[in-house]
Structure 1
Amino acid sequence: MNNKTLSILSYVTIIGWIIAFVQSKDLTPKSDLVRYHLKQGFGIFLVSLLVNVALSIVVMVVPALYFLSYIGYVIFILWIFGIINAANEQKKPIPVIGKMFEDKFDFIN
């Protein structure tokens, strides 16, 4: 697989991320683009997981706050931005939350 494909795949579910991670280890030379999008993809996965768990608990305790579940659509839109950046082969962070992940996840290097 080429760098662009691996970059896009790093956003497509956690299974896609694992495939991209394993395939990126075989790349010679190592790709900064793939590494960058692996970090962004893993970060958005963690954020979506934490937000969904927190919202599930909040809505279970206070059912009147069900409208907060629309936050999931915001995360979906941010995910789309990540895929678009990967498809354009740009190293741009995901809006709002992407800067947090640029220097995290050292195991990806």
Structure 2
Amino acid sequence: MKDKTLAIVAYCTIIGWIIAYVKYKETPERSPLVRYHLAQALGVFIAGIAISIIVSIVARIIPTLGSLLSVAGLLPLILLIFGIITASNEAQRPVPVIGKAFENKFSFLN
């Protein structure tokens, strides 16, 4: 697969991320573009899980506020779409809001 394709696939569910990661590790010349987007996508997935847990706890405590915060569940989807657009442009820009936090993390990707 081409680097651009692997970078895009990394944002398509956890299974897509695993496929992109395996293909990335198999290639002798590891692309910095793919590595960057693997890290960004994994960061978005982790943040999505954290948001889901927080929203469910708040919904148990304050049901009215929980229904309003359920819209926050769309944030990871929006961030994944931004990531796909960035990957399709072959750019290495962080996803909005949380991308900077995951730029130099995940040393296992090296």
Give the structure-1-normalised TM-score.
Answer: 0.96
Structure 2: tracts of 5 or more residues without a match = none
1:43-77 per-position Cα deviation (integer Å, ceiling 9, x unaligned) = 00000001001101110221011101111223221
Structure 1: tracts of 5 or more residues without a match = none
Kept after mapping to 1: 8 A contact 2:79/2:95: yes
Deviates more, 1:77-86 or 1:38-47: 77-86
| Rounded Cα–Cα distance in structure 2 between residues aligned with 1:40 and 1:82 | 8
Could you say which residue in structure 2 is the equivalent of 1:72?
A: 73
Identity %: 51
Could you say which residue in structure 1 is the equivalent of 2:62?
A: 62
Deviation at 1:96, TM superposition (A): 1.1
Show structure 1 runs of 4+ deviating over 6 A.
none
Q: Cα RMSD between the aligned structures?
A: 0.9
1:9-47 per-position Cα deviation (integer Å, ceiling 9, x unaligned) = 111111110110000011231100000000000000000
Q: 2:109 matched to 1:94? A: no
Q: 2:59 matched to 1:48? A: no
